[in-house]
Amino acid sequence: MTKFDQIYQSFLKNIMEKGVTEVNARTGHETKAIAGAHFSIDIEKEGFPILTLRKIPVKIFVAEQIWFISGSRKPEDFLRDFTKIWDDFTNPGDVVTVAYGYRWRKHFGRDQLGKLIELLENEPSSRQGVVVTWDPATDGLGGVVKKNVPCPYTFTVNIMGGRLNLHNIVRSNDMILGFPHDVAGFALLQTILAQRLGVTPGVYSHSISNAHVYDIHYDATRELIERQNDHQPVTIHLPENAFSRAEEKDVKLVEEIVNDISSQYNPLDPIKGLKIVL
């Protein structure tokens, strides 16, 4: 199995065997959960972290990440051509008020992603490459009720030894549907940023405050723990100028990245009937 598959199975085993079982007040579902879950994987040496124990939809996380980089917050603007994953979180104006990319590029009065690139171009050894998604004025703490608040709420980027590392901080992760999607998406962002800055992707790290499995996913979790395969590591070969093309919402960029990943991606069968808990 790939390194990421091994990490994933270890998380699932730990949650099912040692996780705290309780009913979540917001969703009404029972969960098993652990606190403070963390992993790191070296993308250059150990492969791109895409789950192969079951098939995940590659086109969705690729298109979503390009939409994020563009800074848009309307699914009709590019994203809906590929997925309706954010449609449950739009307001009557068809706007996702907490769209990650919008928060990275416009919401706080500065282009955080653009400033990050500028910073690391001018000062590659900087340790101040922090991008924030969470808005403390309105998100969480029992404040304004929203359809969604950011789960991955901040990430840091640094360059060490000519390699770009990304550390993603996540307040809450559904380990069956959310976690594999988030990891692949942010690892793709890491590779795109590395290309833009003329370095190679290094270590991807992912820290979760509350890592949980919902009751409706218990059977799927047990199946995933038992699955085995001999999948080889996946290596992404990005087309040139991926970052600038993402900013321009280049539709062909999605196809090119998806084709590259899919040519190496031979996962086990999908698990049918998995439903998102909102």
Assigned token pair, 5: 């598959």
Under DSSP, is residue 31 helix (H, G, I), strand (E, B) or coil?
strand
In degrees and rounded to multiples of 5, residue 22 shows phi and psi of -160, 165
Give whole-number Cα distances, 97 to 72, 147, 214, in Å: 10, 9, 26
49 closest CA partner among 215, 208, 198, 179: 179
Annotated catalytic residues are 151
Residue 92 buriedness (CB in 10 A; 0-12 / 13-18 / 19+): exposed
Give whole-number Cα distances, 226 to 45, 54, 229, 231, in Å: 26, 12, 10, 15
